[in-house]
Amino acid sequence: MSPTAPKSTPPRALDQWGRSEGGVFSNALYRAAYRDWFRVSWEGMEHVPASGGALLVSNHAGLIPVDGSIVQQGVEEERGRAVYALAHHGFWRFPFMGRLLSRSGAVVGHPSNAQRLLADGQLVLVFPEGEKGPVKAASERYRLQRFGRGGFVETAMRAGVPIVPIVLSGTEDTTPTVTTVSVAGQTVPITLNSLLLGPLGAFAHFPAKISVEVLPPVHFDEAPGLASYSRSLLMSRSEEIRSDMQRTLDSMLGRRESVWKG
């Protein structure tokens, strides 16, 4: 008699963007880290729309940032909605990394991809600080970097969707920067994790308490789909949003008892 063939687990369905059903967040280890290691808490989750497209805008920090996955996990759990995070195209140069990111709901950060997702009524997460956030100096700790030229505002205006600012505190304490060095013209942060743990420190995050606050949606009066929008208007609205997020972050940091308690 031939041995019984082991039962195979059916593959998870993928959507048109390559996102797996449930993303990577069906992984029990990740859920445990979210719940027990970072002890993530949320305020203002009701500001995330229950339906329709919206551009979620968040601060960005940490050597291997966890902010994107935390926003995705929290919104998935509490609002029952998928979040597609725009990420640098360079990650897709590495097949394994690109595939993992796609399965988790990351999409190459290009305006056309954002417009298609928003037109389809999806939630799209973007980090206006870009790479400036994760590589900033220790002296800039919890200071939001410049939000570019307001491209994210133009994306929301063009799609006719609101911007929902999301502020995280504690993320910079999971991989605290001690100093930065220049390597081939690029700024590279040296974290306490890497000093204590060597190469493993790039991935081993300290168990800092992470708090998240969602601000009320920002709506625009400008008509969607215009050929162009005033650059001064875009930059003005961008700076208003950045300033509101910085004030909220300062307030969150002022209220917390310690890095570990939040």
The predicted-structure confidence for 139-190, as pLDDT tens digits, reads as follows: 999 999 999 889 999 999 999 999 999 999 999 999 999 998 888 888 888 9
Per-residue pLDDT, averaged over 224-228, amounts to: 94
Q: Which domain holds residue 60?
A: 37-171+209-255
Instruction: Report the predicted TM-score, pTM, of the whole model to 2 decimal places.
Output: 0.89
Tell me what pLDDT residue 5 has: 46
Band (pLDDT 50/70/90 cuts) for residue 82 is very high
Band (pLDDT 50/70/90 cuts) for residue 22 is low
Contact 125, 68 (CB under 8 A): yes
Band (pLDDT 50/70/90 cuts) for residue 42 is very high
| 244 inside domain | yes
Instruction: Please count the structural domains in the chain.
Output: 1
| 204 inside domain | no
| 183 inside domain | no
| 25 inside domain | no
| 202 inside domain | no
Per-residue pLDDT, averaged over 128-143, amounts to: 89
CATH number at residue 148: 3.40.1130.10
| 54 inside domain | yes
| 184 inside domain | no
| 189 inside domain | no
